[in-house]
Structure 1
Amino acid sequence: MALAGITTGTKAPDFELKNQHGETVRLSDFRGEKNVVLLFYPFAFTGVCTGELCALRDELPKFANDDVQLLAVSNDSPFTLRVFAEKEGLDYPLLSDFWPHGEVSRAYGVFDEEKGCAVRGTFIIDKDGVVRWTVVNGLPDARDLNEYVAALGSL
């Protein structure tokens, strides 16, 4: 069963998750301030995920600046995410949707019940909290960062 995620034009579900440093991050913290690139990925330390997150790290000024905030969400624990961030030099928020397990991933329609993790879903949310662009890929399929840049440019 393919997961489609929530659709464009939908108000993005608010959430409150801990980042890799144990700090609470809320989607609503960015409302009126920044567009948000909300990226779900299956697991830290896996090949495709590490590649995607390092590619974002290498292009970070496009995704974390005065106008845009990148938030990456997985179902890993905050402790796992801290070690992953340190190992890979990831300076942006890695959010833990660990407990209740997958609650935020489910709210966005990207939780794979069979595998017990989020699939690769990305949602670009404008400053009003509305989803403006989405892509949902299967577990093995990396996403194209240039598509994010184009979508952000259209806001």
Structure 2
Amino acid sequence: MTSPSVPAVGAAAPDFRTRNQHGQDVALTDLRGAPAVLIFYPWAFSGICTGELCAVRDDLARFSGVGARVLAVSCDPMFSLRAFDEAEGLGFDLLSDHWPHGAIASAYGVFDDVVGVARRGSFVLDAEGVITWAISQGIGEPRDIADHLAALAA
């Protein structure tokens, strides 16, 4: 399965429905009415991913201060995401893109079909679900969470 290209800024965010780490359904339509930040990452419990998501956790008040909902998406199964959240006390939704494997990451153009995981992609969505900022990086390239906050403020 080859991922399409990353959706352009100004495009509608690709629709999805999946479960979070607690087994609750989450859909793109649930995000309407407020900005949202989708953060794709390869693996729960890996070094770079843990560092990035803990940085989000540590700045979560700044995200919620502008009314943004943060959702992190990986191909890990729901129970692994629950254990990851409990271990790190993240405090935001971790969405499982486990089955169909990588479908959400593929729709956003960040699925690595050789390794079988999401690359590091981030998308800021406005209240109507339009992409206002996007970044896509390789698996081993950490993102600066401050860039996400700057994009929300813009």
Q: TM-score range by the shorter chain?
A: over 0.9
Contact 2:102 2:118 in 1 (8 A): yes
Map of 2:71 onto structure 1: 71
SS at match of 1:76: coil
Map of 2:29 onto structure 1: 28
Q: How does 1:1-155 map to 2 (within 5 A)?
A: 5-31=6-32, 33-65=33-65, 67-154=67-154
Contact 1:75 1:101 in 2 (8 A): yes
When the two structures are superposed, what TM-score results if normalisation uses the length of structure 1? Answer: 0.94
- Aligned-residue sequence identity (percent) comes to 49
Contact 2:5 2:108 in 1 (8 A): no
- The separation in 1 between residues aligned to 2:101 and 2:23, in whole angstroms, is 17
- The one-letter amino acid of 1:71's match is L
Q: Deviations over 1:65-105 (max 9, x none)?
A: 56210010000000000000000111100000000000010
- The separation in 2 between residues aligned to 1:145 and 1:61, in whole angstroms, is 13
Contact 2:78 2:95 in 1 (8 A): yes
Which structure 1 residue ranges, 4+ long, deviate > 4 Å from structure 2?
A: none
- The separation in 2 between residues aligned to 1:115 and 1:5, in whole angstroms, is 18
- The one-letter amino acid of 1:85's match is D
- The separation in 1 between residues aligned to 2:26 and 2:66, in whole angstroms, is 17
Contact 1:34 1:69 in 2 (8 A): yes
Contact 2:19 2:96 in 1 (8 A): yes
Which runs of 5 or more structure 2 residues have no equivalent in the other structure? none
Which runs of 5 or more structure 1 residues have no equivalent in the other structure? none
Count of residue correspondences: 152
How far 1:19 moved relative to its partner?
A: 0.3
SS at match of 2:146: helix
SS at match of 1:63: helix
How far 1:125 moved relative to its partner?
A: 0.6
SS at match of 2:64: coil
Q: What RMSD over aligned residues (CA atoms) do the two structures have, in Å?
A: 1.5
Cα–Cα, structure 1 residues 135 and 66, in superposed 2: closer, same or farther, change >3 Å? closer
